[in-house]
Chain A
Amino acid sequence: MADMANVTEDEWAQYHKRLTLHAGGFFVAYGWRANGGWAGPGGITPGDIAAEAILKVLDGTRRYDPSTGLKLMTFLRNVVRSLVNHLAEAANTQHSRPMPQIHLSDTEDPVDMEPEGDEPDPLDNCIKNETLANLKAMSAKEDDPLLVDILECMNADITKPAEIAEYLNVDVKTINNAQKRLWRKAEKMLGRPKREGRS
């Protein structure tokens, strides 16, 4: 546990911000909004998920073992994804079957020890049809030269920027810039909540 003992409060603050954005991506994808902000079932926010992930690792509920070679931040991201998945499962269970709710043991979650990139995909059925419809509408109007090429890559299951760049024979930076440009357009369509406070 030497890794964690050396983490300062400032570093935890940075980890928390990164993990909040990591969790926040799922909230945006799932369209989890409440009270003018991004919030999931039970009013849980991306910041809550990030905090819970850190606290579970700190108190040993999610046991981090640096000897496995997994970096602390990678492990924390896995815990965040696991928590979001549990939240999504609970939300789906509530929608389809009010009772009983599924509860997975915190200590027996295989997601914790998975290397980055091998975690289960986010739950597809959490992405709302409305979200996809908005994205399609935005894309149909968009005049970005790379948009259809990138969609072609997605269709061929080529999803990493480096792979896309290679496939399209362009610079990775070009793909990253396209991602940022299209994200700015998309997030308006996906419904940005009113701003609250600052990060």
Chain B
Amino acid sequence: MKNVDRFDDQAWKKFLTFLLPNEESMALHEVEAELQHLGMDTRAGFAKVQRGLQKMAATREARAALEAAREQRPSMLAKLRDKASQVGALTKDELRRIIADRFSGTAQAAFFRKLDAVASEDDLKSLLDDMSKLDALTEESDDAEP
């Protein structure tokens, strides 16, 4: 019998920690053998990791697709700016269609009212400017959504 009674619990706790397998100094096959020996199954746990990796890959793909779509989408803002440069060629009917297509609710009603009140080219430019600003805000908030 060894005289081991003289050591206190702290020493025994350190001894226990010392004895535990240290995976850092083990080759992978030794880690696998120790897991097997201890009856620690890693399959269910790694299945969770795989699901997480798949979910992340799907999210990455969806974000890339969204980004590509955003870059390819002809911006309404750009269209309106384009129209504004040739504002004289725009008819009230075309503007009415753009407002109906692009806006809804109170914004749509306000733009219709402003369109009805247009009396000069400056009024028309002002209307297009308001529309393009609101459109830009809408696009930004659409893009910010997850």
Contacts and interface: CB of A to CB of B under 8 A. Distances in A.
Interface of A: 9, 12-14, 16-18, 20-22, 24-25, 28-29, 37-38, 45-48, 50-52, 54-55, 58-59, 122, 124, 127, 131-132, 135-136, 139-143, 147-148, 150-151, 154-155, 157, 159, 176, 179, 182-183, 186-187, 192-199
A24 B45 contact: no
B45 A21 contact: no
A15 B119 CA distance: 72
Interface string B25-66: 110100110111111111111101110110010000000000
B45 A183 contact: no
Contacts of A55: 48-49, 52
Contacts of B41: 37, 45, 47, 196-199
B90 to A, nearest CB: 48
A18 B31 contact: yes
Given A17-B35, A140-B4, 7 more contacts: A14-B28, A37-B39, A55-B52, A141-B1, A154-B18, A182-B19, A192-B39
Contact of A38 (B3, B20, B39): B39
Interface residues of B, number: 45
Given A12-B53, A159-B14, A183-B21, A197 B1 contact: no
Interface of B: 1-5, 7-21, 23, 25-26, 28, 31-32, 34-46, 48-50, 52-53, 56
Contacts of B40: 20-21, 24, 37-38, 45-47, 199
Contact of A159 (B17, B25, B38): B17
Nearest to A197: B41
Contacts of B14: 154, 157, 159
A50 B34 CA distance: 16
B26 to A, nearest CB: 8
The 4 tightest CB contacts between A and B, nearest first, are A47-B45, A199-B35, A25-B20, A51-B45
Contact of B50 (A9, A46, A198): A9
Contact of B16 (A29, A45, A52, A147): A29
State the majority secondary structure of interface residues on B.
helix
Nearest to B15: A154
B49 A16 contact: yes
B39 A193 contact: yes
A8 B68 CA distance: 26
A17 B19 contact: no
A151 B13 CA distance: 10
Given A9-B50, A197-B43, A131 B38 contact: no
Nearest to A4: B56
A196 B39 contact: yes
A183 B20 CA distance: 7
Given A58-B52, A135-B16, A198 B34 contact: no
B100 to A, nearest CB: 43
Contact of B4 (A38, A45, A148, A183): A148
A81 to B, nearest CB: 12
B11 A154 contact: yes
Interface centre among B26, B35, B37, B39 (most CB of A within 10 A): B39
By CB atoms of chain A within 10 A, which of B4, B37, B38 has the most? B38
